[in-house]
Amino acid sequence: MEREKAIVKVSVIGIGVNAVLVAFKLAVGLISGSIAIILDGVNNLTDALSSVVTIVGTKLAGKAPDKKHPYGYGQIEYISSVTVAVLILLAGVTAFRETLDKTLHPTAADYSVVTLVVIAAAVAAKLVLGRYVKAAGKTWHSESLAASGTDAVMDAVLSLATLVAAGVSMAFDLSIEGVLGLVISLFILKAGIEILTESMGQLIGERVDSAMAGELKDFIGKYPGVLGAYDLSLHQYGPERLIGSVHIELPDDMTAREIHGLTRQIAEDVYRAFGIVLTVGIYASNTADETFADMKRALTDILREYPEVLQMHGFYVDAAKKLVYFDLILDFKAENKAEIEADIVRRMKERFGEYEFAAVLDSDVSD
Which pLDDT value is given to residue 8? Answer: 86
Cβ atoms of 103 and 181 closer than 8 Å: yes
Q: How do the domains of the chain map onto residue ranges? A: 2-204, 210-362
Q: Give the domain 210-362 fold.
A: Alpha-Beta Plaits (3.30.70)
Which pLDDT value is given to residue 47? Answer: 77
Tens-place pLDDT, residues 336-365: 999 999 999 999 999 999 999 999 998 888
Which pLDDT value is given to residue 6? Answer: 86
Which pLDDT value is given to residue 184? Answer: 74
Q: Give the domain 2-204 fold.
A: Alpha-lytic protease prodomain-like (1.20.1510)
Q: At what angle do helices 143-172 and 35-61 cross, to 10 degrees?
A: 170
Cβ atoms of 305 and 299 closer than 8 Å: no
In angstroms, rounded to a whole number, what is the distance separating the alpha carbons of residues 182 and 174?
17
Cβ atoms of 92 and 99 closer than 8 Å: no
**254: which DSSP letter?**
-
Q: What is the SS3 assignment for 6?
A: helix
Taking the CA atoms of residue 343, residue 345, residue 350 and residue 354 in that order, the dihedral angle to the nearest 10 degrees is: -160
In angstroms, rounded to a whole number, what is the distance separating the alpha carbons of residues 286 and 284?
7
- Report if pTM > 0.85: no
**227: which DSSP letter?**
-
Q: Is the pLDDT of residue 198 over 70?
A: yes
Which pLDDT value is given to residue 111? Answer: 64
Tens-place pLDDT, residues 70-79: 888 888 888 8
Q: Which of 216, 49, 66, 58 is nearest to 141 (CA)?
A: 58
Tens-place pLDDT, residues 158-178: 777 777 777 777 777 666 766
